[in-house]
Structure 1
Amino acid sequence: MQRPLAERLLFPPQQVNETKLAKAVNGKTIVVSGASFGIGHALCLLLSRYDTHLVLIARTEEAMSILAKSIEANGSRATIIVADLYQIDDAEAVLARLATIGAIDIFISNAGKSIMRPLVQSLARYQDITRTNSLNYLAPVKILLGLTPLLTRSKGMIINVSALNVLLLPAPNWAAYQASKTAFDQWFRCNWAEWKQLGITAKSIYFPLVKTRMIAPNPKYTHAPAMEVQQAAIRIAKLIYQDKSVSKPWWAIFPQTAGFLASKLWNAYSFHHISRHSS
């Protein structure tokens, strides 16, 4: 079935350079958080076609076990770490387990939680803030603080799988999600130069809407243009070998520029949108 025209224009299909990717990942140990479903799952399948040791981190052991069998069938190794990264103790347990694996070459921070809820529906739901912040910000910070010495020894790489909206103006109803993703993005970018000094390569990829389980509960996205998870995985794989530190959609410059030039108009639109939907 042919993809809608908007998706073909916004998310043109890409392919990896097999030779370059093989050179970048063969023989490497690659840790992927949020590996059981969606982008992480597709990325692990893609990387398993090469000679890799994939370390899978996620909550769902059954899904990871099935994925591990597919990885091994493709000729690569798989290690499973079951962890609920909402819990700080689980993040510490992840670090303890990673310390036993040996050299770690690439860490792909992919686990995340999305939430869309208006302010007036959030007044008694402080847990939305703490849970979203734990997974999107505090857990990856905790893990990277622990992994930095290991990645320094291997002269490794970190890839932050982020969201395009952290580069754009704030959006109504998205406070918990956008704040937590932006917090980690800022922390990550603040450390870029220091990681480079240690010999660690840090890269960020900013995704628009992707067709994952995360967006399924929101009926507003049923017919919205979105990227396929396989294409998202390809873009991460390409970033591993590409000589650049940031990847984002070709059209991202337009909303970024509009946000810089027209913030007052955006604020007016946001107020109008909220007023219309709350009346």
Structure 2
Amino acid sequence: MTHNITHHKPHIWARALSWLANPKGLNNLDKLRNAVEGKHILLTGASFGIGEATAYRLANAGAILFLVARSSDKLQQVVAKIRAGGGQAYAYSADLSKPEQAKALIETMLAEHHYVDILINNAGKSIRRSIMMSENRFQDFERTMAINYLGPVQLVLALLPSMRARKQGHIINISTWGVRMPPGARWAAYQASKGAFDIWLRSVALEIKAQGIDTTSIYPAIVYTRMSAPTPWMHLLPGMTTDEAAHVIERAIVDKPIDIIPPFLRPGEVTSVLFPAPIRKGMQLVFKYSKDSEASIKSAQKGL
């Protein structure tokens, strides 16, 4: 079963340096099949980007997929393609920024399919906007906290009892490298919300490991998706395609590491601790000589 997904094209030199920026993936269908064949996998944000690419990969390996997204029509298209290729997938349209919908989603899913082996928390919302442009836009922070933090918390809370009863489960979170580094200008809404769930899950992981439930936090750098497309300069930097990101999730499923990070991240963390003042000054200069994206300005002007 093969599927074509439209990718945003990065600069050629950015691709040449991608080995430095990208966490290592697996790309081994046999190993993936051994890990997921017949398993119940819940994947959020499944209608586009990383989620769509991952859904096709997991379907090829024989997983039974519960695919979640707000965009019902596109989600049904993904499910139809998977089923046409002989895979098993079910569509669940839900707005995970509304915790009550997240809870109802799990209740429905467990009633219909009894259990979930693996949760892949992929859905998210990114906003890159200076604080001056957000002073009258409290909704920027409400929306990012809702989808990046509160929604995933409710999903995990609703799933934990059934995972604990079966003494097995795996929670995979698609985080961002930014939560492991000092805060960056214009990323207050996004970085705070992603950081909140990252810390929450790492705390919970200490309690649920003894109950047979594993967690993996993935910290990708740039992934060339429609979410990053409104910030064109990102595509000048080394990053991953959605297929490459799917291979990283594949590694998380097969190997179950605590975290998966790009090669530069640990040296970057050490540098930020040893030299906080120069790092902060550098970030201030980046802010001074950069600007909000045209897409961010236009959406703010329209009240979106």
Aligned with 2:220 (options 207, 214, 232): 207
Mapped to 1, the partners of 2:101 and 2:50 lie a distance apart of 22
1:258 aligns with 2:271: yes
TM-score, structure 2 normalization: 0.86
What is the Cα deviation at residue 94 of structure 1?
1.1
- Single out whichever of 170-179 and 211-220 deviates more from structure 2: 211-220
What is the Cα deviation at residue 14 of structure 1?
4.6
Aligned with 2:79 (options 65, 68, 79): 68
1:58 aligns with 2:69: yes
Kept after mapping to 1: 8 A contact 2:221/2:239: yes
**Aligned twin of 1:107:** 119
Kept after mapping to 1: 8 A contact 2:118/2:169: yes
SS at match of 1:99: helix
AA at the equivalent of 2:154: K
SS at match of 1:207: coil
**Aligned twin of 2:46:** 35
**Aligned twin of 1:98:** 109
TM-score, structure 1 normalization: 0.93
AA at the equivalent of 1:57: V
What is the Cα deviation at residue 238 of structure 1?
1.2
**Aligned twin of 1:83:** 94
1:270 aligns with 2:283: yes
Kept after mapping to 2: 8 A contact 1:34/1:57: yes
Q: Which runs of 5+ in 2 are unaligned?
A: 1-8, 292-304
What is the Cα deviation at residue 111 of structure 1?
0.5
What is the Cα deviation at residue 17 of structure 1?
2.8
**Aligned twin of 2:141:** 129
Kept after mapping to 2: 8 A contact 1:51/1:75: no
**Aligned twin of 2:237:** 224
**Aligned twin of 2:158:** 146
Task: Show CA shifts across 1:248-273 (max 9, x none).
Answer: 11222221121111111122222333
Give % identity: 35
How has the CA–CA distance of structure 1 residues 274 and 17 changed in structure 2, closer, same or farther, with 3 Å as cutoff? closer
AA at the equivalent of 2:214: T
Mapped to 2, the partners of 1:273 and 1:153 lie a distance apart of 50
What is the Cα deviation at residue 72 of structure 1?
1.4
What is the Cα deviation at residue 6 of structure 1?
1.9
Mapped to 2, the partners of 1:117 and 1:164 lie a distance apart of 18
Kept after mapping to 1: 8 A contact 2:26/2:247: yes
1:185 aligns with 2:198: yes
**Aligned twin of 2:257:** 244
**Aligned twin of 1:163:** 176
**Aligned twin of 2:297:** none
How has the CA–CA distance of structure 1 residues 191 and 141 changed in structure 2, closer, same or farther, with 3 Å as cutoff? same
Mapped to 2, the partners of 1:143 and 1:243 lie a distance apart of 20
Mapped to 2, the partners of 1:21 and 1:204 lie a distance apart of 18
How has the CA–CA distance of structure 1 residues 110 and 34 changed in structure 2, closer, same or farther, with 3 Å as cutoff? same
Kept after mapping to 2: 8 A contact 1:50/1:75: no
Aligned length: 278
SS at match of 2:60: coil
Task: Show CA shifts across 1:49-94 (max 9, x none).
Answer: 1221100010011111111122113322111110111223322221
How has the CA–CA distance of structure 1 residues 14 and 131 changed in structure 2, closer, same or farther, with 3 Å as cutoff? closer
What is the Cα deviation at residue 129 of structure 1?
0.3
AA at the equivalent of 2:201: F
What is the Cα deviation at residue 15 of structure 1?
4.1
